[in-house]
Structure 1
Amino acid sequence: MKDIFSAGGETSSTAMEWAIGEMIKNPEITKRAQHEVRSIYNDKGNVDESRLHELKYLHAIIKETLRLHPSAPLLLTRECGQQCKINGYDIPAKVDIIVNAWAIGRDPKYWIEAEKFNPSRFLDSEIDYKGNNFEYIPFGAGRRICPGISTLFVLAVFGEPSQEVIELALAQLLFHFDWKLPGELKPQEFDMAENLGWTIRPKNDIQFIPIP
């Protein structure tokens, strides 16, 4: 799996790995996503960009993936503009602040069942990647949101940077294949341990068997 997507850049391949890993671990989510994709594209016989905007559940899967597995767990440092107090702590001016996006996305004060992979929480939700909702900042927040947001989803196999590319790739996999874990491995036994670093990758390569 890692070899297929490595050419698209580390953040892109990481996002793809986590999304597929979470779907493999949650077969009912996979079935719902497959039903959505196949219902919309069945008459065309293939997935293209024309109806990606109709894939509401798949879009929610990507949002939920980035909530639990942001491309960079610690955002770029920011300089505090003026002295302030946050949660009882005095923050001096000019000090560098590091924001833990990984912890924010799992904070039970803002998320029901914060550790659970539940894409439905984003259905009919206005929360998006733009950084205006501070409980969800996988790329940063406010006016200085990460300028590389669109390039996160680059996969070299498609040859063009676009936020739609990751949706297109997942939709094609869901449309054309069923997925099976190797051997007798059960979904609940699937290891989603994290390998800590500048980006958080799965500790073990994600392997699955595609069935046409």
Structure 2
Amino acid sequence: HPVYSPMALRQAPHIGPYQNQDVLQLQSKAGSPYVFYLNLAAVMSGSTPLNGVTRENMYRAWQSIADQYSMFNLNVTTNVAVYNAARAANPLRTGIINFINQDGRSFAPLHSFGTTAAGTLYRNPGSGFDYGYGIGMTGAHEIGHQMGMNHDGGGSGGEYFEGIAAYQWGPIMGNYWMGANWANQLWTWSRGEYTTATNK
């Protein structure tokens, strides 16, 4: 694992290796009035993840989502008490996505941040997608819809742009599974800065 400075670790709790944190108490920016809640209730038995998934896998899912929204003053949390307090203070500053312990196609209502409408994140254990990083990237994509973003399309991928293999790059709102075997895959938010982009 890379070594991070004490300053970096204080500023970004989602950075670094899993160190046995309670996966139901994670917060990326504790104290922020803006809160996005990852509801893990249906995929946990107490403090133990279902389907033989490790706590580190769950941490990686949270870590991946927290990373993609780290530029905002937004606390990505798995702590229901933090979410409930923020929603009671001002529901316009909250969002929620429910992890579901079954196979299915994840989805989220467009522009639903600031409402009580929840996204749905299927864990897909039967499809082999029941692991941290992949579920985390799916979560980042679906939360993107809740933040108001549509799909990044173009090229042979149609509605879901498949990335640029020569650069091992793809947009988060496109088909991020396309580069699963790239050695140095890089996913970023996109404003359509590539030829054939359908979403500016």
**TM-score normalised over the length of structure 2:** 0.25
Whose relative contact order is higher, 1 or 2, with alpha carbons under 8 Å and at least 6 apart?
1
Give the structure with higher Rg (CA): 1
Name the structure where helix makes up a greater proportion of residues. 1
Name the structure where strand makes up a greater proportion of residues. 2
